[in-house]
Amino acid sequence: AQSVTQPDIHITVSEGASLELRCNYSYGATPYLFWYVQSPGQGLQLLLKYFSGDTLVQGIKGFEAEFKRSQSSFNLRKPSVHWSDAAEYFCAVTIYGGSQGNLIFGKGTKLSVKP
Amino acid sequence: KAGVTQTPRYLIKTRGQQVTLSCSPISGHRSVSWYQQTPGQGLQFLFEYFSETQRNKGNFPGRFSGRQFSNSRSEMNVSTLELGDSALYLCASSSLAGQGDIQYFGAGTRLSVL
């Protein structure tokens, strides 16, 4: 069965510092991978997705992620964090291309930003 | 273009009651998926509807059901509510235009069961 692991429950970084959120997935073939962000009391907003091709994908708000097949990882990065990035981040996987429901989510990483 | 709209935003029910949540997808989107979010279990897939047919279903008891109308609007129903059903219920819509399509989420309905 597919699964997604986000090892870090909570991360605190200083504003302006770089950020890396980890995500590992378990699946035999290449899955479709996503990162979503959720602000308090809100739904999920897609940051970026990986389906195929270039393993380094760019997303919104200055985020990027790198797919590493050998490590079954899809880590999210941002070179300089802003206070408005404080939120919860979810990595997700599906075998259906993302459009047929059944996204499997990690437990999330809550990001706090120090001034 | 309006986003995914979920109503109501908040609900308070008591054990044993039933509840119906509504989701209006983005105009032109034909697929609607439902997810339950709790602090303990995280985000879990409930079911997905496409063209009024349930296409995928997660591992939830039969008390959880849904339907989709011809205009793609969807409802989910939970009967005989239990305390553990307290959660944020999220709806997502997708156009299924092809590979590369994604799911867009609504703000959710927060259900509290007392």
For A37-51, how does the pLDDT look when each residue is reduced to its tens digit (9 = 90+)?
999 888 999 999 998
**Backbone torsions φ then ψ of A61, nearest 5 degrees:** 60, 25
From first CA to last CA, the distance across chain A in angstroms is 41
**Residue A96 pLDDT more than 90?**
no
As beta bridge partners, residue B13 has B113
Closest C-alpha among A6, A52, A32 to residue A94: A32
Percentage of the residues of chain B whose pLDDT score is greater than 90:
79
Instruction: Give residue B105's pLDDT.
Output: 94
CA distance B43 to B88: 9
Instruction: Flag whether pLDDT at B78 surpasses 70.
Output: yes
Are A97 and B106 in contact (CB < 8 Å)? no
- The rounded distance, in Å, linking the Cα atoms of A39 and B8 is 19
Local confidence band at A32 (pLDDT 50, 70, 90 cut-offs):
confident
Inter-chain residue contact B42 with A99, CB threshold 8 Å? no
* Greater model confidence, B86 or A104: B86
Tell me the per-residue pLDDT of B104-114, one tens digit each, with 9 for 90 and over.
Answer: 999 999 999 99
- Using a CB-CB cut-off of 8 Å, the residues of chain B touching A44 are 90, 92, 105
Query: Above 80 in pLDDT, residue B30?
Result: yes
Residue from A23, A30, A34, A44 to probe the interface with B (highest B Cβ count within 10 Å): A44
Structure tokens at B45: 């897939």
Question: Residue range B45-72: average pLDDT?
Answer: 93
Our measurement of the distance from residue A61's CA atom to the centroid of its chain's CA atoms, rounded to an integer in Å, reads: 13
**Contact between B103 and B23 (Cβ < 8 Å):** no
